[in-house]
Structure formats: C-alpha cells, structure tokens
Amino acid sequence: MTDRTAARYRHRDVFSLAEEMYARVPRDSAACGTRDAWDTHATRDTRDTPGAEAGGDRHASSPGHDTSRAGARPLLRARWAVFALLPGAVCALTVAGLALTEGGVRLAVALAGALALAAALHTALRHAPPRAARSGAATRAWACWLLAYAVLGDGLLRAAQPGGIDRPWAPSAVVVLGLAAAVAPGTVCARLFTARARRRLGASRGLAEFAASVRPLLVAVVALYAAAVALAFAGADTVLGAVGGNLAADPEAGPAGLTAGPAAGLVADPAGPAGGGAVCAGAGALAMLLWLGRMLAAHGSTRAPALVYAAVGTAQAVPLALAGAARLPGCGFLASPAETAAFTWSAPGLACGAGAVVLLARAVRVLGRASAHATGGGS
C-alpha cells in the first residue's frame, strides 16, 4: 500500500489512512477494558451473525442467541446512573444528619458520612463514565491533595499563620456538597460526548472532517458541564443556607464554635459569607480540572493530567509553606505574601482555573483525533 492508494481514499498518506482504520476496527471489552457491554454485544452480533449485512434480523437468525442482551443496555445505563448519583445523595444525607444532631452524635455522623462519601466516590469513578485505566500513584496523590485543599485549605492556611487558630479548623461544607453533586452531571456529559463522537466517527469520511465536527462538540459539552457545575454549587449554597442555623459556626466563637463538643468546626465555611463566592468559584474550577483530566485519561492521554495536577498542587502548597515558614524566628514577613496570594488574589482558585484551561486546550487537540476514540473512550 502506497500514498497513491491512500489518496484514493481521501487521505494524504498511509499513516493517516492507518489511523482511521485503527479507529474504526471494533474491539472486544476483554482486550481494551473500556468498551460498554452493550456496544461489545452489538459489535459481536454484527460480526458473527450470518446474513446481518443482508438486512435480516440478526437476533432471530442467530442460533442460541441470549435474549437477555436486549435488555442489557438500559440495565447497565441505569446502573451507572445510580453510581453517579451516589456521592451527591450520600453527601446530602450527611448534611441532613448534621443538621439534626449535635455534640458527639454529630461527630459520629460526620465521620460516617465521610467514609460513606469516599466509598460512593470510589464506586462512581470505577463504574460510571468516563472510565479510565488505573492512573499512576503520583496522579492519584495529587488529585487527593487538590480535593483536600479545596475542603480544608483555607482553614489550614489561617491556622498556619503566626497567631492563627490553634483549634480544629472547619472544612468547607459548600465545597464538599458542590463537588459531590457535580459527579452526576460529569458522568452524563462524558457519556454524551463519547456517544456523539462515536456517531460522528462512523459518519465522517476522513480525519479532517471528523476533527472539524468533534472539536466544537467537545467545547459545547465542556460548556454544558461548566453550567451544571455552577448549578450544583448554587444548589449546595441554597441547601446549606436553608439549614445554616444548625450548621454555621458562631462568629463570636471562631471556626471551632459549631458546637461546644468534640464536633466543633466540622462543617462551617472558614471563608465566611464574604468569601463564599471565591470559594465556590475555585471549587468549580477544580471540578472542571478533574473532569477534563479524567476525560483525557479515559481516551489514552495520561501524561498531561499528571503534569497539570502536579503543577496546580504545587501552586496551592506554596502559600501553606510560606505561612508555616512565617512562624520561624525572623521570618514573620512571609505571612503577608501568603495571605495576599491565598485570600486577596485567590491564587489556589486561579491555579485550578489555569490548569483547567491548559487541559481543555490539550483535550481539544487529543480528542479531535480519531485514534483517541478507538477504544470507546472508557464509557
């Protein structure tokens, strides 16, 4: 096969033709680990059933065909939909439990809710789209750090400054609830993009045509997810506002004034009402960053998310390091730059936003290639 042969199929060279052929070859889920069960069944039926190309009913003509496959698609779709809703539901139930309890019982509810939320998030990431191959330990560690800083970072930074709070700081409830609620729309958007991209891959006549059609689709899906994240945080803020009388810390008692017992400071927002908008914006940027990184990983690009996560995590750790160093003798001057960067400039949120923009640019390039969709995108 030469470039002249490739030109007859509207490709500039044999490599371009090979990329499209590779993308169009159906693959078994056991080989790639990312195809949906119903897509694999449909591909196998079309390939193996005699007379399928002739327009006959492949299910009727296939001897010994398992009729349960007909209901596999809605069953699997309902299953991952439930998994995607689990984190938000668990977090909402935990918030309700915290609003109805106090003292030691509230502490137990918070700890149980945290464990249940971690389990629900793990289940959602493992079974709901976009499903990616297991990432490296460093990538997972940086992702956990980004989440931990979003929930605890502002309170920890205030506590680390000279003369700061020596009592337990308060995690940001709106961040936890908003991020948990953003899992479900992220799953829907990922599935939407993958399904539409597959359809356009089958209908396109060349790589350039496919790229020109799928890149605007990606931008539209990203914008849709951004709107869903904004609605998720608005809903979280509304829910917490409705139960704020039971969850908010006492301003005169400091961030540890949620209760007089051991549950002090478990759910109050350390930023206060004035900083709530910046906190939600930074957490929303984090949601976009993590979602784009997972989309890239699901389509075979793992290096860019790892590097961006590390860069954003390092940028968030710098103010904490400066605040901690300011406690050393003669280093008190470092406290002011740390406070200015974190609270005045909202550097952690800006870092997440910049990282999300970088990953979006990378996604537009990578997900516009036909070869990125050869394994189904992990959904």
pLDDT (tens digit, 9 = 90+) per residue, 135-194?
788 999 999 999 999 988 877 877 777 666 555 567 788 999 999 999 999 999 999 998
Q: Tell me the Ramachandran region of residue 264: left when phi exceeds 0, alpha when psi lies from -120 to 50, beta otherwise.
A: beta
- Is residue 6 pLDDT above 90, yes or no? no
- Is residue 61 pLDDT above 50, yes or no? no
Q: Which range has the worst mean pLDDT, 14-23, 84-93, 135-144?
A: 14-23
Res. 263 pLDDT band, cuts 50 70 90: very low
Return the DSSP state at 260.
Answer: S
Distance CA 226, CA 231 (A): 9
- Is residue 210 pLDDT above 80, yes or no? yes
Q: Average pLDDT for residues 342-368, to the nearest whole number?
A: 89
* Residue 276 pLDDT: 66
Res. 242 pLDDT band, cuts 50 70 90: confident
- 8 A C-beta contact, residue 372 and residue 366: yes
Distance CA 6, CA 9 (A): 5
Among 157, 162, 158, 160, CA closest to 330: 162
* Residue 264 pLDDT: 39
Q: In b/e form, how buried is each residue of 57-87, taking b as 16+ CB within 10 angstroms? A: ebeeeeeeeeeeeeebeeeeeeebeebbbbb
- 8 A C-beta contact, residue 281 and residue 150: no
Contacts (Cβ under 8 Å, ≥6 apart) of 261: 102, 103, 104, 106, 107
Among 175, 173, 377, 189, CA closest to 285: 175
Distance CA 296, CA 298 (A): 5
- Is residue 245 pLDDT above 80, yes or no? no
Question: Higher confidence at residue 341 or residue 76?
Answer: 341
Burial class (CB in 10 A: 0-12, 13-18, 19+), 311: middle
Percent of the chain surpassing pLDDT 90: 32
Question: Higher confidence at residue 50 or residue 77?
Answer: 77
Question: Higher confidence at residue 296 or residue 69?
Answer: 296
- Is residue 252 pLDDT above 50, yes or no? no
For the chain, the average pLDDT equals 76
Question: Higher confidence at residue 239 or residue 285?
Answer: 285
- Is residue 297 pLDDT above 70, yes or no? yes
* Residue 136 pLDDT: 83
Distance CA 284, CA 230 (A): 7
Both tokens assigned to 175: 């961040």
- Is residue 251 pLDDT above 90, yes or no? no
* Terminal-residue alpha carbon distance, the chain: 34
Return the DSSP state at 136.
Answer: P
* Residue 26 pLDDT: 64
Distance CA 238, CA 94 (A): 16
- Is residue 220 pLDDT above 60, yes or no? yes
Q: Tell me the Ramachandran region of residue 70: left when phi exceeds 0, alpha when psi lies from -120 to 50, beta otherwise.
A: alpha
Distance CA 299, CA 362 (A): 12
Percent of the chain surpassing pLDDT 70: 68
Q: What is the largest CA-CA distance in the chain?
A: 84
DSSP alpha helix (H) spans, 204-261: 207-242, 244-247
